[in-house]
Amino acid sequence: MSTPIGKLFDLSGKTALVTGGSRGLGLQIAQALGESGARVMLISRKAAELEATTGTLRAQGMDAHCMAADASQPAEITRVAEETMRAFGQIDILVNNAGANWTAPAEDHPLEAWNKVMNLNVTSIFLMCQAVARLSMIPRRSGSIINISSLAGLLGATESKFIAYGTSKGAIVNFTRTLAAEWGQYNINVNALAPGPFPTKMTQGMIDRLGEEHMAAKVPLRRIGDDNALKGAAVLFASEAGRHITGQTLAVDGGISAVHV
């Protein structure tokens, strides 16, 4: 039986957990999910910024909650998943967005920084998926996982020196495929977004150094990302509208990967 398209994108009654939701791309995604009717639980380390963001979303009419936690710590991941389950009884949507970057020429990249990036960008995503799937998605035979990769996971870069970051984001592309293949039997969709450059705290230094106009000139659509560019793709992957899509990485990059891959 056909379902009206508006209903397929409706997230009412769903609970979404978004790591790194206090600002930047995590906030944009949380906003999209909240505006589509989901209850959102935002996670990040700095409580003050997190609470302020949550207050803003509530003032906009969203059912927003938050928990300060460090997603790079396995015990914190367990706590986040357990406390969210205690509070809401289900986690339908998991957005693994928190990530770290480190810039250094590959030949000088410190091992400690390599481990830090790989731990947050890869290992903690694996552990978060495991915790949420065990507690909610596998028993309920339902869930959508959205992993945030990057254009840096699809191609190399000449102007940025970030060997650990690029490696970690590439790993997420195949992590997403592999997990989707394994958890399809539980009706869990696993997809990834690979954003091109967006102006956020993480990229501010790069944008200041290269200049936004210089960066935009290399993009087929002649612009970098903005406060709305990820919203549609996030809701598609989180909702019934994306029910038959799994294991995919969607570049949201103004077309950069289309011309460089």
Catalytic residues: 165
Class of residue 165 by CB neighbours under 10 A (exposed 0-12, middle 13-18, buried 19+): buried
**For 224-257, b where at least 16 C-beta lie within 10 A, e where not — what string?**
bbeeebbbebbbbbbbebbeeebbbbbbbbbebb
Binding mask 71-90 for ligand NAP (x = CB under 6 A): xx------------------
SS3 88: helix
Would you count residue 26 as binding ligand NAP (CB under 6 A)?
Answer: yes
- Please give the structure tokens belonging to residue 131: 């915790």
Size of the residue set binding ligand NAP (CB under 6 A)? 29
Q: Which residue has the tokens 């967006």?
A: 198
* Interaction of residue 49 with ligand NAP, rule CB under 6 A: yes
Applying the rule CB under 6 A, the residues between 188 and 247 that interact with ligand NAP are 195, 197-198, 200-203
Smallest gap, in angstroms, from Cβ of residue 149 to ligand NAP?
A: 7
Query: Rule CB under 6 A: is residue 170 a binding residue for ligand NAP?
Result: no
CA dihedral sign of residues 203, 107, 121, 154: positive
Among 17, 18, 91, 99, which residue interacts with ligand NAP (rule: CB under 6 A)?
99
Give the integer Cα–Cα distance in Å for 223 and 216: 4
Q: Which is nearer to ligand NAP, 38 or 100 (CB)?
A: 100
Binding segment (CB under 6 A) for ligand NAP, from list 10-18, 64-72, 137-145, 184-192 = 64-72
Q: Compute the 3-state secondary structure of the chain and give helix, strand, coil in percent, each to the nearest 5.
A: 50, 15, 35
Residue 81 CB, nearest approach to ligand NAP (Å): 14
Q: 10 or 198: whose CB is closer to ligand NAP?
A: 198
Q: How far is the CB of 212 from ligand NAP (least distance, A)?
A: 12
| ∠ CA 52-53-56, rounded to 5° | 90
Work out whether 43 is an interface residue with ligand NAP (CB under 6 A). Answer: yes
User: Looking at 38, 120, 131, 230, which residue binds ligand NAP (CB under 6 A)?
Assistant: 120
Give bridge partners of residue 41 from the DSSP assignment: 17, 65
20 binds ligand NAP (CB under 6 A): yes
Decide whether 45 or 231 has the Cβ nearer to ligand NAP.
45
Q: Which residues bind ligand NAP (CB under 6 A)?
A: 19-20, 22-26, 43-46, 49, 70-72, 97-100, 120, 148, 150, 195, 197-198, 200-203
